[in-house]
Amino acid sequence: DADVTQTPRNRITKTGKRIMLECSQTKGHDRMYWYRQDPGLGLQLIYYSFDVKDINKGEISDGYSVSRQAQAKFSLSLESAIPNQTALYFCATSERTSGSAEQFFGPGTRLTVL
Amino acid sequence: AQSVTQLGSHVSVSEGALVLLRCNYSSSVPPYLFWYVQYPNQGLQLLLKYTTGATLVKGINGFEAEFKKSETSFHLTKPSAHMSDAAEYFCAVIRVYSGAGSYQLTFGKGTKLSVIP
**Comparing C-alpha atoms, which of B86, B94, B84, B74 is closest to residue B6?**
B74
Give per-residue pLDDT as tens, A46-89: 999 988 999 999 989 999 999 999 999 999 999 999 999 999 99
Interface test with A, best of B44, B89, B93 (most A CBs within 10 A): B44
- Whether A99 sits inside 8 A of B46 (CB atoms) is no
For residues A12 and B42, give the distance between their C-alpha atoms in angstroms, rounded to a whole number.
19
Task: Give the pLDDT band (50/70/90) at residue B89.
Answer: very high
B-chain residue closest to A89, CA distance: B43
| Percent residues over pLDDT 70 in chain B | 88
Q: How far is B100 from chain A (nearest CA, A)?
A: 9
* pLDDT for res B83: 96
* pLDDT for res A95: 85
Residue A103 is classified by DSSP as P
